[in-house]
Amino acid sequence: MSKKIFSGVQPTGNLHLGNYLGAIKNFVSLQKDKQNNCIYCVVDLHAITVKQDPKILKKNIRETTATFVASGLNPKESIIFNQSMVPSHSEGAWLLGCVARMGWLNRMTQFKEKAGKDKEKASVGLYIYPILMASDILLYDATHVPVGEDQKQHLELTRDIAQKFNLDFDCKNFLTSPEPLIQKDFSRIMSLKDGTKKMSKSDPSDQSRINMTDDKDLIVSKIKKAKTDSAKLPENDKDINNRPELKNLYGIFSSIQNQALDLTIEEFKGKNFSEFKNKLAEALVEKIYPISNETNKLLNDEKFIDQILLDGSEKAEAIAKKKVNDIKNIIGF
Ligand code: TYM
């Protein structure tokens, strides 16, 4: 059955290995199935929920687009576009925001994490951002949304909004409840410095993540310095429990190599840590460095990148505008 796929990535600073293994790698495999209609968005309206420098934001929008393409997304096969160039997303967010309930938003753990202790000082945008995300998805009747584990709750909210809209306005199945596509394993890549914390752009330590723009030497040195424990390498999958750093590094290796965790455990049984780390660094350099190299090449041609976004945004707007108009009709405008 053909699937309508939608997903987005914020253009806030360097994309990292978590974004790649948790999301972008999956975007590329979904594009390979010709039955799927794939739409991938650079969600710059989400990025401004925290303060951005205008010049750097522009650079980051191009860099995220270039990373999409360098990772294997093809603008001839998927719609690749920029959220702020499609005004229907903001309009849809307002309309759906009148359906969503405060109580639902108050449960969002990502807001609590990002706002920190001083919630009063967080932007209103940060609070209502899951509604914009729901608008992104629902305007395209997306059936499947590939994301990392951290977006699961936002997807549940999207489904709640769709169901309430359909019920409130007596229009069964008008808004499609999307299914999250979260990889069974390796959907939450953790910090290289602390295996209990998510790998994130906002971690002040650059050593905590592999950026998609890191060069070979940096990748190797970050893996060498990655935190590990002093026990020997695991003999079986029970040996990996309660060892968050090791579990994370084994997960990264397995995901990069497209192999099950069991095989990784088997491969390194009885070997020492430095041997494993060398192999991990080698695998990362082999997979990530060509993407970073290609991203930099693409960034030399800003016109090419801008044209991808322009073409993609025209296609996206045609779909989204029609859905917003249908929503407005149903509401009674
Ligand atoms: P963002 O920009 O924070 O992250 C983009 C994608 O990367 C995944 N991800 C991770 N996966 C595994 N391990 C990690 N450490 C890790 N860090 C990030 C995220 O789960 C995500 O899939 N709100 C979204 C963007 C968004 C969106 C949408 C996604 C806006 N509208 C509509 C899907 C559909 C976000 O901030 O992702």
Percent helix, strand and coil across the chain, each to the nearest 5:
60, 10, 35
Q: Residue 286 is part of a domain; what is its CATH number?
A: 1.10.240.10
Q: Residue 115: CB partners within 8 Å, gap ≥ 6? A: 121, 122, 126, 127
State which H helix or E strand residue 237 sits in: none
Residues 163 and 246 in one domain: no
The tokens for 243 are 């060892």
Number of domains in the chain: 2
Which residue segment(s) compose the domain that 178 sits in? 4-187+301-331
Average pLDDT over residues 109-138: 95
Ligand 1 close to Cβ of residue 148 (< 6 A): yes
pLDDT at 316 over 90: yes
Residues 101 and 227 in one domain: no
Residues 115 and 240 in one domain: no
For residue 59, what pLDDT is reported? Answer: 96
In a domain, 225, yes or no: yes
Residues 21 and 150 in one domain: yes
Q: Residue 166 is part of a domain; what is its CATH number?
A: 3.40.50.620
Average pLDDT over residues 89-116: 96
In a domain, 201, yes or no: no
For residue 163, what pLDDT is reported? Answer: 98
Q: Which amino acid is at 33?
A: D
Residues 75 and 217 in one domain: no
211-233 per-position pLDDT tens digit: 999 999 999 999 999 999 989 99
CA angle 290, 294, 299 (to 5 degrees): 150
The tokens for 272 are 């020492």
The tokens for 39 are 């739409």
In a domain, 95, yes or no: yes
- Mean of the per-residue pLDDT values of the chain: 96
Q: Which residue has the higher pLDDT, 1 or 111?
A: 111
Q: pLDDT band at residue 2, thresholds of 50, 70 and 90?
A: confident
For residue 267, what pLDDT is reported? Answer: 96
Q: How far is the CA of 149 from the centre of ligand 1 (A)?
A: 9
For residue 184, what pLDDT is reported? Answer: 82
In a domain, 164, yes or no: yes
Residues 42 and 161 in one domain: yes
For residue 13, what pLDDT is reported? Answer: 80
Ligand 1 close to Cβ of residue 198 (< 6 A): yes
Contact call for residues 187 and 148 (beta carbons, < 8 A): yes
Residues 157 and 105 in one domain: yes
> Tokens 């449960």 identify what position?
107
For residue 186, what pLDDT is reported? Answer: 83
Ligand 1 close to Cβ of residue 16 (< 6 A): no
Alpha carbon 33 to its chain centroid, in Å, reads: 20
> How many C-alpha atoms does 224 have within 13 Å on its Cβ side?
6
Residues 214 and 246 in one domain: yes
Q: What is the pTM of this model?
A: 0.96
pLDDT at 266 over 80: yes
